[in-house]
Chains A and B, each alone.
Chain A
Amino acid sequence: MEEEVMTEKRPIISTGGPQPAAGKRRSLSMPARYAINAVLVLVILILGELMIDGGAINRYQSTVLEQVGIYIILAVSLNIATGYLGQLPLGHAGFMSMGAYGCSIFIIRMSEVLGIGARDFVTGSPMTFLLVLGGLVVGGLCAAVAGIIIGIPALRLKGDYLAIITLAFAEIIRVVMLNIDSVLGFELTGGAAGLTGIPGYTSFLLVFGCVAVVCFLIHTMMKSRHGRAILAIRDNEIAAEATGVNTTYYKTLAFVASAFFAGVAGGLYAGCVGVLQPAVFGFMKSIEILVMVVLGGMGSMLGSALSATVLTILPEALRAFSEYRMIAYAVVLVLVMIFRPQGLLGSYDFSLSRIIERVMNRDFPWSRKSAAPAGADDGKEASHDA
């Protein structure tokens, strides 16, 4: 459903690997690659929207689809910190809740100021669209600020300690959201009863538009100099520092980017669900997102997206067996880890332009004999999907 953007930045003239007929290998230029992927994204978005408008996808199914999109954003954003930076944050739900509360409070307050009713969000107008975009950015920024506050002390620690400190921070956020109203007398988060009256601004187009944009941003970031610095830190922090990478800066950057996108996903989540309760954003939510990333294969955006899709749809499909589904989930998790510890897809990533190039060069797996040509295996390099 959501195989979308796959851009792959490589030198326009392919240079990797020994090739019998150098220069003969044809490759796509960068604008062509972007164009192909942009067209594909548009086609899928329009197709999805048409199916919803035409009634082929009912209200319930489209809500599930929105959830799928939201979890894809959460998984790919956590993947920045886990897969690319190689750290283990256990507090992603905390960033998500910062974003959700930030975005929905902003939208509720601003629509009061601007005199926009809840109905206007459903019918849609340029004004509400801008407001929602603003809300998502505010949500992302709230989460990013939380990311900086926790990231700077946490990233001085290593491995498990980082995991614990982020877990602790997410729990603190949850308790604060739960009690801030009753203590300080604000009417901000609604406490345990929850924040209600959030307009239903989340739609299929908005969610998957965000998915495409987020995946594109992460992809371009990871293919840039900054992305390579982050990957270098993952592979060997000491070596990276010795070669002049500012490790503190790049670790914080990756961490904050991860938090920002989680905040955007939180904002979308608020509009999808309509009610926010702090209890939702507990430790288990963080684990759920982490499981998606690890199960799909760390460092693989396609893996994160696929397992987010499967793990969101599967519980819905298995509602009839609800008593057993969590046990089955646990068993699958343990089995995958025992038999395929690197995750289902490892670090493989999907790239449409790579496939098109293969076809252009008539380089098919079955016609290959020895000495795999360039582009056949990108190793750990992560490319793209949505």
Chain B
Amino acid sequence: MFITQVLNGLQLGSIYALVALGYTMVYGIILLLNFAHGDIIMVGAYVSWLVMAQLGLNPVLAVILSVAACTLMGVLIDKVAYAPLRNAPRLSILITAIGVSYFLENGAQLVFGADAKVVPAYTDLQTIQVGDLALSFPSVLTVIVTIVATVALTLVVQKTKLGKAMRAVSEDMGAARLMGINVNSTISFTFAVGSALAGIGAVLYAMAYTQASPTMGMMLGTKAFVAAVLGGIGSIPGAVVGGLLVGFAEVIVTALGLSVWKDAVVFLLLIIVLVVRPTGIFGRTMNEKV
């Protein structure tokens, strides 16, 4: 019982963490709260549904296509909506992000209808036996995938040339441009990676909750965003820790029988953390230049 709850917390937290990573990376590089990020997950879940339930194809293909569709969507959104506004006031870009989010939600509602679609199970294997414990396979898979994705992301950011370019652009965009870094393609790459993680998150979410609906991205996105801020926006370990914190907080509140209050608890947690540590748990404090 206790183990199940811990695993539930880990599973939910991992999904939040994957989505939060996307928020954190985009914020780190162009200081944009990408409101459309949650809706990219919705697109991924619908692609899975299309491929498996409508076309009856292999789940592996569904996973690949979902992640690919999310990646493409993220880059496309950046190119069409955000790139023309690179030098505009930050609020304008934020409103644009809200507009894109509206567009995706209502577009999905128009194309697929307002009701939730059932995403078929990706795998027949539902439980695995460890000693005398029967663990839910999707939960274990979610946790493993998240660990692998986080490690891979850290390696990309810390060890590769593109990662170095990303860190440089997030530190100082103007100086990075002077050093010969192609800022636009670096930003596109960031969107691609963040959205690919959202695609993985979409598959894991669909595996856990077997549903796709036009507005599913909104609450998931907001919570993941809270997770990113909790951990310290712009920080990769922060996003993971924040995601797990939010996941565990929800599971604990639900286990206590107070599930109607779980949203309030998550947001209260956010307010408390922000009041005590205004930049989040792992956030860097930046000195303001006069």
With A164-B270, A331-B103 known as contacts, the answer to whether A323 contacts B110 (CB < 8 A) is yes
Which chain B residues (250-290) contact chain A, with CB distance < 8 Å? 260-261, 263-264, 267-268, 270-271, 274-275, 278-279, 288, 290
**Of A159, A175, A238, A330, which contacts B103 at CB under 8 A?**
A330
By a CB distance below 8 angstroms, the chain A residues around B279 are 161
| Contact call B274/A179, Cβ cutoff below 8 A | no
Given A88-B94, A164-B226, A327-B103, is A172 in contact with B85 using a C-beta cutoff of 8 Å?
Answer: no
B96 touches A334 (CB 8 A): yes
Closest chain A residue to B92, Cβ basis: A341
CB-defined contacts of A168 to chain B, threshold 8 Å? 226, 267-268, 270-271
Decide: A176 and B106 in contact? CB cutoff 8 A: no
- 25 of the cross-chain contacts (CB-CB < 8 Å) are A88-B91, A157-B274, A159-B90, A160-B233, A161-B274, A161-B278, A161-B279, A168-B267, A172-B268, A175-B260, A175-B264, A179-B260, A182-B260, A238-B290, A287-B98, A294-B92, A294-B95, A298-B91, A326-B106, A326-B109, A333-B96, A333-B98, A337-B99, A341-B88, A342-B89
Cα–Cα distance between A175 and B260 once the two chains are bound (Å): 8
Residues of B within 8 A of A323 (CB): 110
> Which B97-111 residues sit within 8 Å CB-CB of chain A?
98-100, 102-103, 106-107, 109-110
Cβ-defined contact, A172 with B267, below 8 A: yes
Pick the 9 closest A-B CB pairs, nearest first. Answer: A333-B99, A330-B102, A330-B103, A168-B267, A341-B92, A175-B264, A326-B106, A334-B99, A341-B88
A144 at the interface (CB under 8 A from B): no
What B residues does A171 contact at CB under 8 A? 222, 263-264, 267
Q: A172-B267, A175-B267, A327-B110 are in contact. List 16 more A-B contacts (CB 8 A).
A: A82-B91, A153-B274, A156-B278, A175-B261, A283-B218, A294-B92, A298-B91, A326-B102, A333-B102, A334-B81, A334-B99, A334-B103, A337-B99, A338-B81, A341-B88, A341-B89
Tell me the complex Cα distance, A323–B144, Å. Answer: 41
A165 to B267 Cα, complex, angstroms: 8
Query: Which residues in B have their C-beta under 8 angstroms from that of A326?
Result: 102, 106, 109
Give chain B interface residues in 217-240, CB to chain A under 8 Å.
218, 222, 225-226, 229, 233
Which residues on the A side are within 8 Å of B88 (C-beta)?
Answer: 337, 341
Bound-state CA distance A330–B35 (Å) is 13
Interface of chain A residues 77 through 131 with chain B (CB within 8 A): 82, 88
Chain A window 327-368, contacts with chain B (Cβ cutoff 8 Å), 1 for yes, 0 for no: 101110110011001100000000000000000000000000
- B96 surroundings in chain A (CB, below 8 A): 333-334, 337-338
Give the size of the chain B interface in residues (CB under 8 angstroms): 44
Number of interface residues of A (CB under 8 A): 41
Chain B residues, Cβ within 8 Å of A327:
103, 106-107, 110
Instruction: Answer whether residue B165 sits at the interface, using C-beta atoms and an 8 A cutoff.
Output: no
For window 114-166 of B, CB contacts with A under 8 Å fall at: none
What separation, in Å, do the CA atoms of A175 and B258 have in the docked complex?
Answer: 12
Q: Establish whether residues B271 and A165, one from each chain, have CB atoms under 8 Å apart when the complex forms.
A: yes
- Residue pair B274, A334 in contact (C-beta under 8 Å): no
Q: Tell me the bound Cα distance from A294 to B226 in angstroms.
A: 24
Q: In the assembled complex, which residues on chain A have CB atoms less than 8 Å from the CB atom of B95?
A: 290-291, 294, 333, 337
Interface membership of B67, Cβ < 8 A: no
Bound-state CA distance A172–B222 (Å) is 13
The residues of B with any CB-CB pair to A shorter than 8 Å are 27, 31, 33, 81, 84-85, 88-96, 98-100, 102-103, 106-107, 109-110, 218, 222, 225-226, 229, 233, 260-261, 263-264, 267-268, 270-271, 274-275, 278-279, 288, 290
Which residues from chain B contact A330 at a C-beta distance below 8 Å? 99-100, 102-103, 106
Bitwise interface map of A from 145 to 160 toward B, beta carbon under 8 Å scored 1, else 0: 0000000010011011
Taken together as a complex, chains A and B put the C-alpha atoms of A337 and B288 apart, in Å, by 28
Whether A261 is near chain B, meaning CB under 8 Å from some CB there, is: no
Nearest B residue to A335 by beta-carbon distance?
B99
User: Known interface pairs A171-B264, A175-B261, A179-B260. Does A165 touch B85 (Cβ–Cβ under 8 Å)?
Assistant: no
**Minimum Cβ distance to chain A for residue B60 (Å):** 33
B91 and A169 within 8 A (CB):
no
Bound: A371/B66 CA distance, A: 61
Residue of A nearest to B268 (CB): A172
Contacts of B90 in A (CB 8 A): 159
Report Cα–Cα, A291/B274, bound state, in Å: 26
A168 and B84 alpha carbons, distance in the complex (Å):
30
